[in-house]
Amino acid sequence: MLPAPPATHHLPPRGTSARDWPSFAQESRETLALAIPLIAGQLGHMLMGIADTVMVARLGVAELGAVTFGNTLMSVPYVFGIGLLSSVSVRVSQARGAERPEEAHDALRHGTWLALVLGLLVAGLMFAAVPFLDVFRQSADVTALAPDYLLIVAASLVPALLTVVWKNHADALNHPWPAFWIMFGGILLNVVLNWLWIYGKLGFPAMGVAGAAWATLVSRVATAIGLIAWLMYAPAVRAWTPRRWFERCRRSSFVLLLTLGIPSSLQLLTEVAAFAAAALLIGTLGSVPLAGHQVAITCAATTFMVPLGFAMAMTVRVGEVAGAGEWPRMHRVLLGGWAYAVLFMSVTMIVFLIWGRWIAAQFVHDSAVVEIAAGLLVIAGVFQLFDGLQVVSAGALRGIADVKVPAWIALAAYWGLAIPLGALLAFKVGWGADGMWIGLAGGLAIAAIALAYRAWGRLTDRSAAAV
């Protein structure tokens, strides 16, 4: 029998006040320490995508289009899987706070099987969809090249989703750095294999688009193997990792993971789908506005990785505090997360407002595209504040398993306001891409206010009950 890990926090004697809990500065330092490797991991993932794009782009426009098309098709099930499997973070962090390793074992084991089934299902669907790719009305050369990439990348979704589960487990145990370095090694391996197999270096055949796909598959498999080996044998986490993976699964455990995960996945898909719809609508205005949108959204998505890392840390920290029953600490944890997100996004807002045109010019040289992108970055600078606040609030709510109402808030904000308002301003008022982004900013503002209000209210209720 494995020994239980040492306790991290203990409840004070009955009658003590909230002043006896860790200070705001202490809570904020702990959040920052957990968030830094999570942020680095998210930025690394973005850099891997940029590296893939640059390396494939050297092959030609059709090859880049095929990779972009394949990744677009895979992005929806992948984002759905990320949201669904975030339930593992919630259950494991709460188990850690309550010092119950057996509950962490249960969450990880069932989450692993859930990821495996989802990955195989999506891969099967992608294989079945290959004969029907022409329904997406892409150019003939792109459609012809896409299967070479899509089929292999679809298979790589299985180790990718397993990696999501196992990394969530490591993060929830407050051991994010080993997982980060393992994943960073996978990113470097992907770049090296791209160089070898796309271009045919060191005696390897030049496989082009297929080489990029094989590089993705091999690097994802290697990352998954590295993570599970560390979880099973590292002394720091071994007690929290199940020894028996093939015990009979319980329906109730799957139901609990799905109950937590499905609303979270729908919330993520709601936002991702809204931005995808905005891109499609802007694309009807012409190639120049679409190119400007692509530049601006790339910049905004990159800076968004920082508050997203804080949101992931908030899920773990709030879940751990909830599991330990230390509710009076909640507000200090939440305020720290808000402070970090608003501070960072204020800096990026200033950068976009002052240097937006220069940033856009580093991506493209077309003056018309730069002009549109610079204007969109001004709007992005404003909605950065709302975006940071809403994602941290959603992460905190996820830590106490409050996922259904945030999903409805996201649906109302993005599809009830952002897209209709953006379309009205873009097409009826005639503001073009700027109008669509103003609509997105309005939706993010409503989501941020509603989610922050709910996060504060829910934690106030729980804290009052605890005291």
* Dist CA 92 CA 106 (whole Å): 9
Say yes or no to pLDDT of 58 above 90.
no
Say yes or no to pLDDT of 267 above 90.
no
pLDDT of residue 462: 57
Which one-letter amino acid corresponds to residue 356? G
More confident: 240 or 62: 240
pLDDT of residue 398: 86
* Dist CA 222 CA 199 (whole Å): 22
pLDDT of residue 138: 66
More confident: 270 or 280: 270
Are 410 and 271 spatial neighbours (Cβ–Cβ below 8 Å)?
A: yes
Q: How crowded is the C-beta side of 315, counted as CA atoms within 13 Å?
A: 29
Tell me: the pLDDT tens digits for 355-373?
989 988 877 677 888 898 8
This prediction's pTM: 0.74
To the nearest whole number, what is the mean pLDDT of the chain? 83
pLDDT of residue 5: 36
pLDDT of residue 318: 86
Mean pLDDT on 177-189: 89
Portion of the chain with pLDDT greater than 70, in percent: 90
Q: Which residue has the tokens 């990821």?
A: 115
Structure tokens at 392: 């941290």
Say yes or no to pLDDT of 2 above 60.
no
Say yes or no to pLDDT of 194 above 70.
yes
Portion of the chain with pLDDT greater than 90, in percent: 28
pLDDT of residue 8: 39
pLDDT of residue 56: 75
**Local confidence band at 4 (pLDDT 50, 70, 90 cut-offs):** very low
Are 433 and 292 spatial neighbours (Cβ–Cβ below 8 Å)?
A: yes
Say yes or no to pLDDT of 15 above 60.
no
pLDDT of residue 13: 41
DSSP per-residue letters across 42-66: HHHHHHHHHHHHHHHHTT-HHHHHH
Are 402 and 454 spatial neighbours (Cβ–Cβ below 8 Å)?
A: yes
Residue 134 is classified by DSSP as: G
Mean pLDDT on 215-220: 92
Say yes or no to pLDDT of 148 above 50.
yes
- CB atoms inside a 10 Å sphere around CB 214: 20
Say yes or no to pLDDT of 96 above 90.
no
Say yes or no to pLDDT of 465 above 50.
no
Say yes or no to pLDDT of 38 above 70.
yes
* Dist CA 149 CA 323 (whole Å): 44
Say yes or no to pLDDT of 228 above 50.
yes
**Local confidence band at 264 (pLDDT 50, 70, 90 cut-offs):** confident
* Dist CA 168 CA 162 (whole Å): 10
Mean pLDDT on 95-121: 90
Mean pLDDT on 218-235: 93
Name the least confident of 106-110, 149-153, 251-255, 323-327.
Answer: 323-327
pLDDT of residue 111: 93
Residue 9 is classified by DSSP as: -
pLDDT of residue 49: 66
